[in-house]
Structure 1
Amino acid sequence: MRSRYKASDVSCPYFVTSTIVEWIPLFTSTRYCSIVTDSLCFCRERKGLQLHAYVIMDNHVHLIVTAPNATVFMRDFKSFTGKKIIEFLEADKKNWLLGRLEFFKKEYKTESQHQVWQEGFHPQVIFSEEMYRQKLDYVHSNPVRRGIISSPEHWVYSSASNYFQGAGIIDVDQSS
């Protein structure tokens, strides 16, 4: 993953964003969203990830995380989910989407026929409670700003329901 942005402070939470290449809408069904949620659960349980907030939109993901090494976490997360997405697209015979992911693949990426995620994740260290609350609101309000729902807790693939209703489809670490 080539990026001039690096996550170096392991004690602070980071706001990160990962986008599907060319903003292609891949997360339009439970099957594909589950790849992301299952991976986040695995990383919480086995890799020391603290997941403070998340939202899965049709073509990107926002997270607030604290990790032993956020750069390594994001590299592994994007690699694993990218491979799994390709596997599911092939099984589902989604040839048009596979063609787009092949077409937009960077030439120097020789280890795969496709590229799912854009490079980088632009980590932004969250250095204050005020900034944490601002990023949390940004993450949870994303589907509302897009006009998909009227209230953040109504979006299934978001941690908003964890904060507003006490539970969501995956557990989160609510303290910053």
Structure 2
Amino acid sequence: MSNYRREWMPGGTYFFTVTLADRRSTLLTDAIEVLRQAYGNAAHSMPFQTIAICVLPDHLHAVWRLPDGDSAYSQRWSLIKSCFSRSLPASDDLGASKLRRREKGIWQRRFWEHRIRDDDDLARHVDYIHYNPVRHGLVERVCDWPYSSFHRYVTQGVHPPDWAGGTELDGGFGE
């Protein structure tokens, strides 16, 4: 068994990538209302601040700030994934391991997390999140993707609607 190391910093700010098991799936955007409900339920029962988020068809990226004294981001993702999964039918192709764990085969078991270290690191990750639909060829302009906190940033005056204008951003990291 792999030895996964996670960094737990109470009150920390983290970047996450959470992915469906089937990378060809469009389930997250097809069932966006179910995902919003699951996300809202988790945020209500275990509060956290969403600094930025972008939902793509097969994965999502988010930056969260956890409450002081709290580092339980894995439990929050577990809540979101399980609530979302319970609302959908199981995959037709489940192996014995997934059946034993009562998994539906919708999500990859693990997720990627990175603790945000400073303001520059935060800005790079938020830009990466907002530009991701363009990077994946889903839209030509950031403002054209509906499942992103980018629109909140525009409303708050942080970015103009034509931010990044379809030009490649160098975030310094891949997916």
Q: TM-score range by the shorter chain?
A: 0.7 to 0.9
**Structure 2: 5+ residue runs without aligned partners?**
158-175
TM value normalised by structure 2? 0.76
2:166 alignment partner in structure 1: none
TM value normalised by structure 1? 0.75
Q: C-alpha separation between the residues in 1 aligned to 2:116 and 2:96?
A: 34
Query: Which of 124, 130, 137 is the aligned partner of 1:134?
Result: 124
Are 1:108 and 2:97 an aligned pair? yes
Task: Kindly state the Cα deviation for residue 111 of structure 1 after the two structures are TM-superposed.
Answer: 4.1
Give aligned-pair identity as a percent.
20
Counterpart amino acid of residue 80 in structure 1 = C
2:11 alignment partner in structure 1: 11
**Structure 1: 5+ residue runs without aligned partners?**
87-97, 168-176
Are 1:151 and 2:152 an aligned pair? no
Query: SS in structure 2 opposite 1:64?
Result: strand
Structure 1 runs of 4+ off > 6 angstroms?
none
Q: C-alpha separation between the residues in 1 aligned to 2:12 and 2:62?
A: 13
Task: Kindly state the Cα deviation for residue 77 of structure 1 after the two structures are TM-superposed.
Answer: 1.3
Are 1:54 and 2:53 an aligned pair? yes
Identify if the C-alpha distance between structure 1 residues 5 and 106 changes in structure 2 by more than 3 Å, giving closer, same or farther.
farther
Deviates more, 1:74-83 or 1:158-167: 158-167
Q: C-alpha separation between the residues in 2 aligned to 1:3 and 1:40?
A: 28
Q: C-alpha separation between the residues in 2 aligned to 1:107 and 1:118?
A: 15
2:150 alignment partner in structure 1: 160
Of structures 1 and 2, the one with the larger relative CO (CA 8 A, separation 6+) is: 1
Are 1:119 and 2:109 an aligned pair? yes
Deviation readout 1:23-78 (Å, 9 max, x if unpaired) = 1221343xx01112222223333421111111111111111112331111111211
CA RMSD of aligned residues (A): 2.2
Counterpart amino acid of residue 66 in structure 1 = R
